[in-house]
Amino acid sequence: MSFYNERQWLCRRIFMNYKKKGIPKQTHLFYGADYNPDQWQKYPDILERDIELMKELGATSASIGIFAWTSLEPEEGRFEFGWLDCVMDRFAAEGLFVFLATPSGSKPMWMSEKYPEIRRVNQDGARDSSGGRHNHCPSSCIYREKVSLMNRTLAERYGKHPALALWHIGNELSGECHCANCKASFQAWLRARYVTLENLNESWWSNFWNHTFTDWAQIPTYDHSIDCLELDWLRFVNDQHLSFLKNEMASIRELTPDVPCTTNFMCMHLSNNYWEWAEHIDVISNDIYPMPDDREGSWARSIKADFVHSMMRGMSGGKSWMQMECAPSSVNWGTVNKLKRPRVHRQEILQAVANGADTIHYFQWRKSRGGFEKFHGAVVDHEGSSDSRVFKDCAQVGSDLQALGSVLQQDCPKADIAIIYEWESRWAMNASCGPKKDTSLGPFPADIYTDACLSHYEAVTSSGQSADVVSARSDFSDYRMIIAPSLYMVSEKLARKFNAFVESGGILVGTYLTGYVDPTNLCWLGGFPGSSLRQLFGIWNEEIDYLCDGEQVTVIPEEGNNLGCYTEGVAFDIIERIHLEGADVIARAGSDCYIDSPLITRNSTSKGAAYYIGAKLDSGTLLEFYRGFVSAYDLIQSVSAELPLGVVARKRQTASGELVFLFNYNKEEVSIDLEGLQLRDTLTEELLTGAVQLASYSSHICEVVRIGS
Ligand code: GAL
């Protein structure tokens, strides 16, 4: 086997084993970027210059061809592969890998004009004009056929190419189309789900406002007044993208069964249920752009990114995953496009690695000369040399990553705690008129459901714990504590699963807005939390109150509570009126009309316990509660020291032991007391013990020299 074939073989096995055990050793994390040589065909020197620069950077790989359809097929049926052959060959010759993209993320102009049905139609029935991107109709048979043919042709041509490491399927699949094809497909999807109109009408409570459907063809794709229609529409859109993705992979998998496929996720994107997508791809990959907007605060930004990383780890089943896109400096599409402050870029990269990433790719390698993204951050600037601040910064990160080879192919340590994140619950809550909501789009949509999950993740992290983010389908038995913030939609099956978890000794934490509806968004009858959760939590939640901005209710811990909480706290926004039905009180309301009403409760079984937090608590109050858990249940902390707000320790397994990553996400320097714990920074050899000053945005990758008490 030649050197490159051997590397290729190794590389493929590595990817294929992301989700499995018995993984071979690899020495480098994958490090690279989205690269668009198709845009530079008239600049013959650029490819060679880029390869030189990639080697100088320490890059291993690039994602190529993401938006290159017109360069690959300039006219219908006329394929041009010369430029890509050349790129693939040069990459192979230099020992670089290609994550070869299928180009479905944007349609060629000739195709879009000839086949208007491939363009999306909006809710008002207007068809998009050609142009833009990420805007094909996912139901269009023509587009699916065109994509299949293109992918088959790429797989036939490059399937055995030594540079090919991975298929990068499409790009950030998302969005919705309301064309006649999609409408008919939605109606057929509903028919398969409900079988009879009677079933559908009952599940949708269609009697309300005369919405009873008497023919499948009457069902629209959009009606905000039918909340289950909205929920089912999102389920359908998700299924359409998934079936589009499977269609893309079909010919590729047939021709290159040994080359893994991924598609790049977008964090918690509103309309994609990535738990389902994760089951169909070989490697989890994610794009993330935490915005360096100080108005939000560096800690808030970092903890959201941390949550997303933990979710990718959850999707990978604790195996490593790929960070497929991030910005090395600023983006160009934010309301504020600040450059990353010194150390922030490095910190963001190491944060991903600490949470399980073993690939770091940027968007983008080289700034395009024109077009929408010409001012988006890139490793290589328009200036073109390696002299730029960003290039040097990336080269430094590249060398840090090289030193991290020991984490490769190691499972991430399992946390004691898992937080459930469920798209369907989020969709159902957002579709229901009532709960206050803010469904702004973007990588971190600030809706009420996501907000609850993030605040609990933050409190758990600040209490010194790691948490995996999992789906309700995950195996709970791996965890000591399951936190299900605002899990609004609960099926009978899930309620039974929670009961079994607590029966077997688990600690369950539920919160306000738990168990209000069943899987068709119909309210549970017989009192909230519905199904068997009322008995499990030992409470009845009679009413929910939404407060005005600025209103607060004091939270008074019950004397002698088992969590040892004693500081008076604050609740805001949402308060439920809880009645005890067997549970003990951990804290009560201390003001307004709820005085003495239970706010935090515990219902114990012989082995486990179910806690309920019937109010939105401010971060300090929630933290006090989780600190109580850590000591009451002796949960394992990443390091034994107490860390100030915004300082986080994470562990990763290495081939020979473990590494501790220590981050200060604050804009300011902070001092911490590591007490007896002794850590050695593996890059600087600095010894960290006792009182330590952590510079703003600093990151340390450490070996443990001595475990503190
Ligand atoms: C991503 C997209 C890339 C690029 C990037 C800019 O969402 O996948 O192609 O546009 O945003 O930040």
In a domain, 146, yes or no: yes
Whether residue 674 sits in one domain with residue 610: no
Which residue, 385, 407, 429, sits at the end of a domain?
407
In a domain, 168, yes or no: yes
Mean model confidence pLDDT for the chain: 93
Which residue, 632, 661, 680, sits at the end of a domain?
632
At 131 the pLDDT is: 94
125 φ, ψ to 5°? 90, 5
Preceding peptide of 529 cis, ω within 30°: yes
DSSP state of 437: -
Q: Collapsing DSSP states into helix, strand and coil, what is residue 144? A: helix
SS (H, E, C) 204-219: CCCCHHHCCCCCHHHC
Q: Collapsing DSSP states into helix, strand and coil, what is residue 446? A: coil
Place of tokens 């009126």: 577
How far apart are the CA of 363 and the centre of ligand 1, in A? 7
Nearest CA to ligand 1 atom 12: 331
Whether residue 431 sits in one domain with residue 396: no
174 φ, ψ to 5°? -175, 175
DSSP state of 221: S
d(CA 84, CA 89): 8
Count CB neighbours of 171 within 10 A. Answer: 24
In this predicted model, which residue has the larger pLDDT, 663 or 410?
A: 663
Nearest CA among 419, 423, 481, 429 for reference residue 453 = 419
Integer CA distances (angstroms), 663 to 351, 385, 620, 646, 677, in order: 8, 31, 20, 8, 16
In a domain, 361, yes or no: yes
DSSP state of 497: H
How far apart are the CA of 297 and the centre of ligand 1, in A? 23
Contact 430, 677 (CB under 8 A): no
Q: 445-501, pLDDT tens digit by residue? A: 558 899 999 999 999 999 999 999 999 999 999 899 999 999 999 999 999 999 999
Pull the structure tokens for residue 142: 């023509």
Nearest CA to ligand 1 atom 4: 363
Pull the structure tokens for residue 345: 């870029």
Preceding peptide of 364 cis, ω within 30°: yes
Q: What is the largest CA-CA distance in the chain?
A: 78
Nearest CA to ligand 1 atom 5: 363
In this predicted model, which residue has the larger pLDDT, 337 or 137?
A: 137
Whether residue 377 sits in one domain with residue 435: no
Whether residue 555 sits in one domain with residue 467: yes
At 709 the pLDDT is: 63
Can you spell out the DSSP letters for 243-272?
HHHHHHHHHHHHH-TTS-EE-EE-TT-TT-
386 pLDDT higher than 80: yes
In 563-618, alpha helices (H) = none
Whether residue 394 sits in one domain with residue 355: yes
How far apart are the CA of 501 and the centre of ligand 1, in A? 41
Q: What is the pTM of this model?
A: 0.95
Whether residue 306 sits in one domain with residue 164: yes
In a domain, 251, yes or no: no
Whether residue 657 sits in one domain with residue 509: no
Confidence of residue 433 (pLDDT cuts 50, 70, 90): confident
What CATH number is associated with residue 661? 2.60.40.1180
What CATH number is associated with residue 314? 3.20.20.80
Whether residue 573 sits in one domain with residue 436: yes
End-to-end CA distance of the chain: 52
Q: What percent of the chain stands above pLDDT 70? A: 94
β-strand pairing of 615-617 with 670-681: unpaired
Nearest CA to ligand 1 atom 3: 363
Q: In this predicted structure, which of 495-504, 573-582, 649-658 has the lowest mean pLDDT?
A: 649-658
β-strand pairing of 321-325 with 285-287: parallel
Give me the number of domains the chain comprises. Answer: 3
In a domain, 10, yes or no: yes
Q: Mean pLDDT, to the nearest integer, of 551-559?
A: 97
Residues with CB under 6 A from ligand 1: 171-172, 287, 289, 325, 331, 363, 373, 376
Whether residue 364 sits in one domain with residue 269: yes
In 58-140, alpha helices (H) = 69-72, 82-93, 109-114
Those residues with Cβ within 8 angstroms of residue 198's Cβ, 6 or more apart along the chain or in another chain = none
Active site residue 172: yes
Q: Collapsing DSSP states into helix, strand and coil, what is residue 361? A: strand
As to burial, measured by CB atoms within 10 angstroms (0-12 exposed, 13-18 middle, 19+ buried), residue 180 is exposed
What CATH number is associated with residue 548? 3.40.50.880
Length of the chain: 709
Q: What angle do CA 624, 474, 651 make, to 5 degrees?
A: 55
Whether residue 552 sits in one domain with residue 679: no
Whether residue 672 sits in one domain with residue 612: no
How far apart are the CA of 666 and the centre of ligand 1, in A? 27
Pull the structure tokens for residue 141: 């048979």
Q: 339-373, pLDDT tens digit by residue? A: 999 999 999 999 999 999 999 999 999 999 999 99
Q: Is 307 left (phi over 0), alpha (psi -120 to 50) or beta?
A: alpha
Pull the structure tokens for residue 589: 């309301």
Preceding peptide of 644 cis, ω within 30°: no
Q: 166-186, pLDDT tens digit by residue? A: 999 999 999 999 999 999 999
Whether residue 506 sits in one domain with residue 381: no
Confidence of residue 641 (pLDDT cuts 50, 70, 90): confident
Active site residue 198: no
Confidence of residue 11 (pLDDT cuts 50, 70, 90): low
How far apart are the CA of 375 and the centre of ligand 1, in A? 12
Contact 237, 273 (CB under 8 A): no
Atom from ligand 1 closest to the CA of residue 171: 8
* Catalytic residue selected from 172, 230, 558, 576: 172
Domain encompassing residue 692: 647-706
* Catalytic residue selected from 176, 325, 424, 458: 325
How far apart are the CA of 282 and the centre of ligand 1, in A? 22
Count CB neighbours of 592 within 10 A. Answer: 15
Helix, strand counts (H, E) of the chain: 18, 25
Atom from ligand 1 closest to the CA of residue 331: 12
Q: Break the chain down into helix, strand, coil percent, rounded to 5.
A: 35, 20, 45
The residue whose CB lies within 8 Å of the most ligand 1 atoms, and thus the one to mutate among 288, 325, 335, is 325
688: which strand partners? 679
At 36 the pLDDT is: 98
Atom from ligand 1 closest to the CA of residue 172: 8
In a domain, 248, yes or no: no
Those residues with Cβ within 8 angstroms of residue 391's Cβ, 6 or more apart along the chain or in another chain = 53, 57, 379, 380, 381, 385
Place of tokens 């390091």: 639
